[in-house]
């Protein structure tokens, strides 16, 4: 099986909607990559999101002050665990590996997905935290949406555990930026 | 975590799941129960019974706390009431009768310590229920409630001076 190239992955991620990720990617159109369906398509979308989340924390970890760096290190390690779980699940389904985008490319893709740059140049800690909050709400939205589309019970259980982790990140980041951490009884994130 | 064996074992469940989408019933008809619908109703009933217990707990606990803690507990009560209402509506839409709410509330002790135990139980209950629900719309509802319960857990942990988000996979166990 042919591994997807980094550019293919980035084009696919940046070309929202993510629901059509590989079906719309140039590699898939050219027959070089499989058109994914069902759970394989859903976890591929989720892994793409997690790659971008990890890149966001890597960026904040380099640019932020000590408080932001500590938070980015902790939550970034959670993203790495989510990525590993999804990569393992994809491998089990026989899907070719998805290459990890560079940080710069991932930030471009995040800007496309969110409709704005989450981390403008010369951003201070407050801006970095607001950017991370936007990214986490987008990640949460993806996982809540996936709960309705995944079918494998084991993947659904993993989805429950990961979306709960993202919800906790959201609550912490809302507090960090001075927002109400519990604004709604049913939280579906954003951009699902 | 997902392993290869678990994925393979789960494959037959895909066929069952594909049949599980329930249409919104008209006001004048009661949908005939289906095997998947009955299983979903049982899961919803168990979740609603839990939420009703949570409402009883927070109704009593919120009255015993003051200041910021009292405000937090009142917010949690408001959310649990909303969860119970959503689950009650989903059950009625499936022609099932919601369980009676319990009479007993909080029986003493530190309200926040009680909240911590309750929110862990909530996360564990939804984490267990999510893979068992057949209707995709119900799974999205359960996921959005689970997200809120996990946020509650983080806030309560923080108010108790603990790390609010300690784990990458949140299961409701003592560590996560």
**Predicted pLDDT of residue B30:** 44
**Predicted pLDDT of residue B158:** 97
Report how far residue B17's alpha carbon sits from residue B47's, in angstroms, rounded to the nearest whole number. 20
Decide: B129 and B47 in contact? Cβ < 8 Å: yes
C-alpha dihedral over B173, A141, A53, A108, to 10 degrees?
180
For residue B120, is pLDDT > 70?
Answer: yes
Q: What global pTM score does this model have?
A: 0.83
DSSP classification of residue A8:
H
Report how far residue A58's alpha carbon sits from residue A72's, in angstroms, rounded to the nearest whole number. 7
User: Closest Cα of chain A to B85: distance in Å?
Assistant: 11
- Rounded mean pLDDT, A155-167: 98
**Predicted pLDDT of residue B107:** 65
**pLDDT per residue as tens digits for the range A50-105:** 999 999 999 999 999 999 999 999 999 999 999 999 999 999 999 999 989 998 89
For residue A111, is pLDDT > 80?
Answer: yes
Report how far residue A185's alpha carbon sits from residue A137's, in angstroms, rounded to the nearest whole number. 15
3-state secondary structure of B28: coil
Helices (H) and strands (E) in chain B, counts: 6, 0
Closest residue to A157, CB basis, from B131, B141, B150: B131
Contact of B64 with chain A, judged by CB distance below 8 Å, is answered with: no
Report how far residue B46's alpha carbon sits from residue A156's, in angstroms, rounded to the nearest whole number. 19
- The answer to whether the CB atoms of A181 and B151 lie below 8 A apart is yes
3-state secondary structure of A61: helix
- The answer to whether the CB atoms of A148 and B139 lie below 8 A apart is yes
- Rounded mean pLDDT, A133-155: 97
For residue A161, is pLDDT > 70?
Answer: yes
Task: Please give the interface size between A and B, counted as residue pairs whose CB atoms are below 8 Å apart.
Answer: 173
| Residue reference for tokens 């084991």 | A154
Contact of B71 with chain A, judged by CB distance below 8 Å, is answered with: no
Instruction: Give the distance, in angstroms, between the CA of residue A115 and the centroid of all CA atoms in the same chain.
Output: 15
How confident is the prediction for chain B on average, in pLDDT? 82
- Reported ipTM: 0.85
Binned at pLDDT 50, 70 and 90, residue A34 comes out as low
Structural tokens at position A75: 């939550």
Report how far residue B127's alpha carbon sits from residue A163's, in angstroms, rounded to the nearest whole number. 10
The percent helix, strand, coil of chain A (3-state, each to 5) is 70, 0, 30
Decide: B116 and B160 in contact? Cβ < 8 Å: yes
**Predicted pLDDT of residue B4:** 41
């Amino acid at each position: 099986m042919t591994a997807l190239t980094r550019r293919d992955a980035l084009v696919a991620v940046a070309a929202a909607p993510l629901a059509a990720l590989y079906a719309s990617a140039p590699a898939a159109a050219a027959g070089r990559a499989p058109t994914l369906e069902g759970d394989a398509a859903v976890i591929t979308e989720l892994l793409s999101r997690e790659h971008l989340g990890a890149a966001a924390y890597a960026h904040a970890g380099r640019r932020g002050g000590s408080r932001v760096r500590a938070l980015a290190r902790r939550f970034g390690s959670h993203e790495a665990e989510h990525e590993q779980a999804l990569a393992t699940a994809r491998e089990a389904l026989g899907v070719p590996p998805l290459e990890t985008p560079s940080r710069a490319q991932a930030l471009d893709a995040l800007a496309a997905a969110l409709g704005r740059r989450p981390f403008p140049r010369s951003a201070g800690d407050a801006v970095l935290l607001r950017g991370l909050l936007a990214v986490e709400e987008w990640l949460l939205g993806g996982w809540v949406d996936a709960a309705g589309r995944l079918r494998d019970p084991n993947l659904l259980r993993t989805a429950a555990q990961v979306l709960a982790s993202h919800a906790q990140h959201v609550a912490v980041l809302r507090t960090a930026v001075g927002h109400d951490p519990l604004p709604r009884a049913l939280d579906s994130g954003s951009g699902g | 975590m997902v392993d290869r064996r678990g994925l393979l074992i789960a494959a037959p469940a895909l066929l069952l799941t594909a049949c599980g989408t329930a249409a919104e019933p008209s006001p004048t008809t009661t949908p005939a129960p289906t095997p998947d619908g009955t299983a979903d109703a049982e899961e919803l009933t168990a979740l609603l019974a839990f939420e009703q217990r949570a409402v009883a707990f927070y109704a009593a606990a919120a009255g015993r706390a003051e200041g910021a803690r009292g405000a937090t507990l009142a917010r949690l009560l408001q959310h649990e009431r909303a969860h119970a209402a959503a689950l009650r509506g989903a059950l009625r839409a499936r022609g099932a009768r919601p369980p009676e709410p319990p009479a007993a509330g909080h029986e003493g002790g530190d309200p926040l310590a009680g909240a911590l135990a309750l929110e862990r139980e909530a996360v564990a209950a939804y984490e267990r229920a999510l893979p068992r629900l057949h209707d995709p719309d119900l799974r999205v509802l359960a996921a959005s409630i689970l997200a809120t319960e996990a946020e509650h857990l983080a806030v309560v942990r923080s108010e108790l001076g603990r790390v609010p988000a300690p784990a990458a996979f949140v299961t409701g166990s003592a560590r996560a």
